[in-house]
Structure 1
Amino acid sequence: MNNSSIHDLMNKGLREHVFPGAVLLVGKGDTRLFFEAYGKANLFSGQPMTRDTVFDLASLTKPLATTLAVARLADQGRINLDQPVEKWLPALAGSDKAAISARQLLCHQSGFPAHRLFYMTLKSLAPLKRRAAVLDLLKITPLEDRPGETTRYSDLGFMLLCRLVEAAAGCPMNEFLQDEIYGPMALTDLFFVDLTRDLLPCRPFAATELCPVRNRLLVGEVHDDNAWFAGGVDGHAGLFGTAEAVFRLLRFLVADYRGRSPASVFSKQILSGVFNGEGKHRLPLGFDRPSAQNSSAGRYFSADAVGHLGFTGVSVWLDLEKEFCVILLTNRVHPFRWNTRLGRFRPLIHERIMEHFEI
């Protein structure tokens, strides 16, 4: 099949400076229908983008890491999604956060505000004290709504989920993910860069921003400042990966969801809750759904599709019924975050793909 119409639009994105570079993977079932790299991973060094380029996955951390860690712990009976978080985090007892449930956090119904500049406080602390201080900051941050009343996308809720995972698992979240999920799936190209202990992995990273906070070009260290000052591993950001690794993870999840995996990591029951939600709102856990109007997924993805965007310029959309996915990874914040052209481009490329493959 001639894929020139997709190539043409991606190359137009390069010419119009939508992004310096990108990797686009389109899959149906276990088949990669389209898998190409475009442009530069680093404008300053001239490093080309390749299919093996590693991206800062930003908020894709929420569905592809934190949500899966919670789901695995729930499958193991170590977390109950509807019990108050104070059971695992007794430091929250007596606060307005005590009764929030993991399900409310996953559905962005915790009442937390969307974001706070925690790093402004963390940077004044010794590095080894910063991670523990995040829970204190979450505890004293006022809720904007009563838990369960309003849906408001929140980084802070997923930061709390990370600490819930670590309390229940008894180890750092990145270690739990490696031991229980990514390792068994042989996903070596999905990982966190733990700034408290790791040397920078020798990988072909896509550069992100000339950071005004850290005063350098960011390559292989998390772009999100709250996550960086917390040590690089957190619930809202910090995951790195390739398009191929994201595709393989989605394939594993779909196989477990369909009940056809010979070596399941997740139960079909927990993944049904993750993808389809429970209760009157039927909100998926950790994932998003296409907006009714002006969706980043374009006009053709099912209303029951799941996906997510990431601030650095990454996105994934998955139609479970058709087992069709589009993984678009870009470094649109390189060299500066003020480039917002990707918001207009995303629906166009998704629509071009769906029309081309007649999905």
Structure 2
Amino acid sequence: VGVGEASTSRAAEPRTAIGGIMHAAIADRVFPGGVVTYGRLGRKGEVLLERTEAFGTFTFESNVPVQSDSIFDLASLTKVVATATSVLVLVDRGVLRLDDLVRDYLPEFGTGGKEHVTIRQLLTHSAGYKAWYNFNSLGLDTKERVLGFVQSV
């Protein structure tokens, strides 16, 4: 069986379940909308079925529907999904320790009162930084501007 060739009865099960979860979450105002991609793996790891479905709108106040190819700002999810996982793999391999100073790996970071910030503090949001910056409005479109901003906060 190749991509998209699952039986109709089996294909409807995840679609109905996922659709129900998404519609309930939108109705409960957990989030205004989203995109879900799902599939099934065969015994040899091949993709048997893959679907991408869009649900809801971009904001609670908007009538603009989410499309299956919509792009979302995942903001803080990057820290828990990618950064924390990668750092903990490096800790497990003995490459770094959570109590190492960030400046030991990123010397540019260790200025303006950030000389003693540890990797652990960054990962646990306990380094004393503002919770959120609107990066889209800051014009940080070059490496130099990003570095300048990081050094200034």
Structure 2: gaps spanning 5 or more residues: 1-12, 39-50
Q: 1:105 aligns with which of 122, 137, 140?
A: 122
Offset of residue 92 of structure 1: 3.5
Cα RMSD (Å): 4.2
Q: 1:10 aligns with which of 18, 23, 26?
A: 23
Q: Is the 8 A contact 1:118 1:137 kept in 2?
A: no
SS in 1 for 2:86: helix
Q: Is the 8 A contact 2:23 2:55 kept in 1?
A: no
Sort the Cα spacing of 1:24 and 1:7 in 2 relative to 1 into closer, same or farther, 3 A.
farther
**Matched residues in 2 for 1:94 and 1:12: separation?**
43
Q: How does 1:201-280 map to 2 (within 5 A)?
A: none
Q: Which residue of 2 aligns with 1:132?
A: 144
Letter in 1 for 2:126: Q
Q: Which residue of 2 aligns with 1:176?
A: none
Sort the Cα spacing of 1:75 and 1:19 in 2 relative to 1 into closer, same or farther, 3 A.
same
**Matched residues in 2 for 1:46 and 1:81: separation?**
39
Offset of residue 120 of structure 1: 4.5
Sort the Cα spacing of 1:94 and 1:9 in 2 relative to 1 into closer, same or farther, 3 A.
closer
Q: Which residue of 2 aligns with 1:116?
A: 133
SS in 2 for 1:135: helix
Sort the Cα spacing of 1:68 and 1:57 in 2 relative to 1 into closer, same or farther, 3 A.
farther
SS in 1 for 2:117: coil
Q: Which residue of 2 aligns with 1:80?
A: 97
Letter in 2 for 1:101: T
Query: Larger relative contact order (C-alpha < 8 A, sep ≥ 6)?
Result: 1
TM normalised by structure 2 equals 0.54
Offset of residue 67 of structure 1: 0.9
Cα deviations by residue, 1:248-281 (Å, 9 ceiling, x for unpaired):
xxxxxxxxxxxxxxxxxxxxxxxxxxxxxxxxxx
Sort the Cα spacing of 1:12 and 1:75 in 2 relative to 1 into closer, same or farther, 3 A.
closer
Q: Which residue of 2 aligns with 1:60?
A: 77
Q: Is the 8 A contact 2:35 2:66 kept in 1?
A: no
**Matched residues in 1 for 2:22 and 2:107: separation?**
52
Letter in 2 for 1:138: V
Q: Which residue of 1 aligns with 2:45?
A: none
**Matched residues in 2 for 1:75 and 1:45: separation?**
43
**Matched residues in 1 for 2:34 and 2:110: separation?**
47
Sort the Cα spacing of 1:79 and 1:12 in 2 relative to 1 into closer, same or farther, 3 A.
closer
Sort the Cα spacing of 1:84 and 1:44 in 2 relative to 1 into closer, same or farther, 3 A.
closer
**Matched residues in 2 for 1:44 and 1:37: separation?**
16
Q: Is the 8 A contact 2:36 2:52 kept in 1?
A: yes
Q: 1:70 aligns with which of 87, 102, 107?
A: 87
TM normalised by structure 1 equals 0.26
**Matched residues in 2 for 1:117 and 1:9: separation?**
27
**Matched residues in 1 for 2:95 and 2:89: separation?**
9
**Matched residues in 2 for 1:97 and 1:67: separation?**
20
SS in 2 for 1:104: helix
Larger CA Rg, structure 1 vs 2: 2
Q: Is the 8 A contact 1:82 1:103 kept in 2?
A: yes
**Matched residues in 1 for 2:145 and 2:72: separation?**
24
Letter in 2 for 1:56: F
Structure 1: gaps spanning 5 or more residues: 26-34, 142-359
Offset of residue 109 of structure 1: 0.2
Q: Is the 8 A contact 2:111 2:151 kept in 1?
A: no
Offset of residue 136 of structure 1: 2.4
SS in 2 for 1:110: coil
Q: Which residue of 1 aligns with 2:41?
A: none
Offset of residue 95 of structure 1: 2.9
Q: Is the 8 A contact 1:10 1:38 kept in 2?
A: no
Q: Is the 8 A contact 2:101 2:117 kept in 1?
A: yes
